[in-house]
Amino acid sequence: EPEVTQTPSHQVTQMGQEVILRCVPISNHLYFYWYRQILGQKVEFLVSFYNNEISEKSEIFDDQFSVERPDGSNFTLKIRSTKLEDSAMYFCASRPRAGGLYEQYFGPGTRLTVT
């Protein structure tokens, strides 16, 4: 069964450094998302991406964040200058079609630790 994959599984970085989190969504999916979950808190929406552009972003998704789909398979989240409060699990998700059902399928996550 097709799956969303994410790399790396764990990323440790120093405050102020840039990180890129990578995702390979399910191949015939059209919508792509990033969410994060800070330890002990709820899963929070960051950004949605469709047709090679951002369709919505949350207040969390400020100028330090960017997303890209550089080729037909990868979907990346970049944090330009990490802060301690960016430490969280980051989940990529994808959705199969533009209308109809809205189930999103999640990857296993990348644990980002900012020191």
Partner 1 sequence: DQQVKQNSPSLSVQEGRISILNCDYTNSMFDYFLWYKKYPAEGPTFLISISSIKDKNEDGRFTVFLNKSAKHLSLHIVPSQPGDSAVYFCAASTGPHQGGKLIFGQGTELSVKP
The residue type found at 24 is V
Cα distances from 53 to residues 11, 41, 66, 97, in angstroms, run 26, 28, 11, 16
Q: Identify the residue among 19, 79, 82, 107 touching partner 1 (CB under 8 A).
A: 107
Site pattern 40..79 for partner 1 (x: CB under 8 A): -xxxxx--x-x----xx-x---------------------
Per CB under 8 A, does 36 bind partner 1?
Answer: no
| Main-chain phi, psi angles of 85, to 5 degrees | -75, -5
Nearest to 84 by CA among 10, 16, 4: 16
Q: Which residues bind partner 1 (CB under 8 A)?
A: 4, 6, 31, 33, 35, 41-45, 48, 50, 55-56, 58, 91, 93, 95, 98-99, 101-109
